[in-house]
């Protein structure tokens, strides 16, 4: 059986996920009525990330490739759409 860990799979990162988490505090500043319980935040992020194309890289410094595919504004827009879905049907902790 092949040993997956020998390939350092933890080095593989979805750059768009990292970018979404970086944008999230700005989104919160503009949407103070968003419930910040664990379930609501994770639901917003899950819906956001499911609507974005993944952009995996093995080197964290390669953000430019991700920005060429999806802009920060697009991530913010997808986050807003996700927020409206969660606001309509929250699953609070």
pLDDT tens, residue by residue, 24-49: 999 999 999 999 999 999 999 999 99
Quick one: pLDDT at residue 27? 97
pTM of the model: 0.82
Name 14's Cβ contacts closer than 8 Å, sequence gap at least 6.
49, 54, 55, 56
pLDDT at 86 over 80: yes
pLDDT average, residue stretch 66-89: 92
Domain residue ranges of the chain, discontinuous segments joined by +: 10-88
Burial class from Cβ neighbours inside 10 Å (0-12, 13-18, 19+) for residue 6 reads exposed
């Amino acid at each position: 059986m092949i040993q997956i860990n020998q390939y350092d799979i933890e080095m593989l990162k979805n750059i768009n996920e990292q970018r979404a988490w970086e944008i999230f505090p700005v989104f919160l500043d503009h949407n103070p009525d968003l419930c910040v319980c664990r379930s609501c935040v994770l639901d917003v992020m899950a819906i956001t990330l499911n609507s974005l194309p993944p952009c995996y890289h093995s080197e964290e410094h390669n953000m430019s490739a991700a920005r060429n595919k999806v802009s920060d504004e697009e991530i913010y827009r997808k986050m807003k759409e996700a927020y409206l879905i969660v606001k309509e049907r929250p699953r609070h902790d």
